[in-house]
A and B are shown apart, each in its own frame.
Chain A
Amino acid sequence: MLHTINKSPFESNILETCIRFVQPGDPILFIENGVYAVQAHSRFAPMLEGIREKNPVYALQPDLSARGVTSLIDGVKTVDYEGFVDLVEKHKVNNWL
Chain B
Amino acid sequence: MKIGILLKQGPYNHQASDTAYKFAEAAIRKGHTVDAVFLYNDGVINATKLMDPPQDDRHIAERWSDLNREHGVEILACIAASKRRGINEDVMIKGGAITGLGTLTDIAIRNDRLITFGD
Contacts and interface: CB of A to CB of B under 8 A. Distances in A.
Interface of A: 6, 31-33, 62, 80-82, 84-86, 88-89, 92-93, 95, 97
Contacts of B89: none
Interface in B12-66: 15-16, 19, 22-23, 25-27, 29-30, 32
Contacts of B15: 6, 32-33
Interface stretch (B68-76, B79-87, B94-102, B110-118): B110-118
Contacts of A95: 115-118
A-B pairs, top 10 by smallest CB distance, nearest first, are A81-B26, A95-B116, A97-B118, A82-B26, A85-B27, A32-B15, A81-B22, A85-B26, A89-B1, A93-B115
Contacts of B8: 97
A62 B22 contact: yes
Q: How large, as a class, is the contact surface on chain B? A: 20 to 34
A77 B119 CA distance: 24
B113 A93 contact: yes
A6 B115 CA distance: 13
Q: Which of A32, A33, A81, A85 has the most CB of B within 10 A?
A: A85
A95 B8 CA distance: 12
B23 to A, nearest CB: 6
Contacts of B23: 81, 84-85
Contact of A97 (B30, B113, B116): B116
Contacts of B16: 6, 32
B113 to A, nearest CB: 6
A2 B117 CA distance: 14
